[in-house]
Amino acid sequence: MRKLSFAAMAMLFLPYAQAEERYCLNAVTTGNERTASVRCHQSNSDPLDLKSDPLIKAAFTTLELDPSLVDFKGCEGIGFRTTNSEADSGAKYLISYSSNTGDKSIAPVIHELGHVAQLEISGGYRILSNLYSPTQIELGADYLVGIVFKLGLPTESTAQFERNIELAGIYMPARNASKNKHGNPSMRVQAFRLGVHTNKNETKIKSIHQDFQDNVYGTIN
């Protein structure tokens, strides 16, 4: 049933996905209604030039990800998400982002890079989703955003990014909050802050990911 709903999500949001293994890890859902139209930038797939953004570069470094693994695609009015890359790409993953959110895109895109780290560590979406619930995966990505700020961006003020990761009004509160796989806003902020303020000295992202799932996730309420 869960696999079916993921496939349905992928069909809904990813008409152009070339994924053998269809999945969709969304940072943001823009509402309970289907997006009527999406305008992608044909001539410039990364209109915010996130690939060159110093904060995004720091995230790649902290998460131990090779930037060549990821393509970015900005479109107006879509949710943030991570999928398999498109067929003609040399990259492995495609992070799509809403191009009209400006600087507010940074935290959600780092959340998506957290998903890429989870996928790389686990060996793919099937394994990841068999190991952990959707909420564990989503809060795990928020925790990794916090880790990026702790280890990679220690001088950045986190307040602004904390608001963006929550993106109240854009993050879907859901008709039934218990069905929102991202967790409610309070849980998301907790996960982010636990990452920022952890006093553990671990720097290996695989160990940090595992520690979150084994020891940290259960403390979030």
Q: Contact positions toward Zn ion, by CB under 5 A?
A: 25, 27, 138, 141
- Smallest distance, Å, CB 134 to Zn ion? 9
Nearer of residues 7 and 87 to Zn ion, judged by Cβ:
7
What gap in Å lies between CA 182 and CA 25, rounded to an integer? 10
What gap in Å lies between CA 73 and CA 87, rounded to an integer? 14
What gap in Å lies between CA 57 and CA 97, rounded to an integer? 16
Nearer of residues 3 and 52 to Zn ion, judged by Cβ:
3
Phi, psi of 91 (to 5 degrees): -85, 170
145 touches 117 (CB < 8 A): no
Enumerate the β-bridge partners of residue 149.
none
Nearer of residues 10 and 27 to Zn ion, judged by Cβ:
27
Nearer of residues 117 and 141 to Zn ion, judged by Cβ:
141
- Smallest distance, Å, CB 36 to Zn ion? 23
- Smallest distance, Å, CB 100 to Zn ion? 20
- Smallest distance, Å, CB 43 to Zn ion? 28
83 touches 14 (CB < 8 A): yes
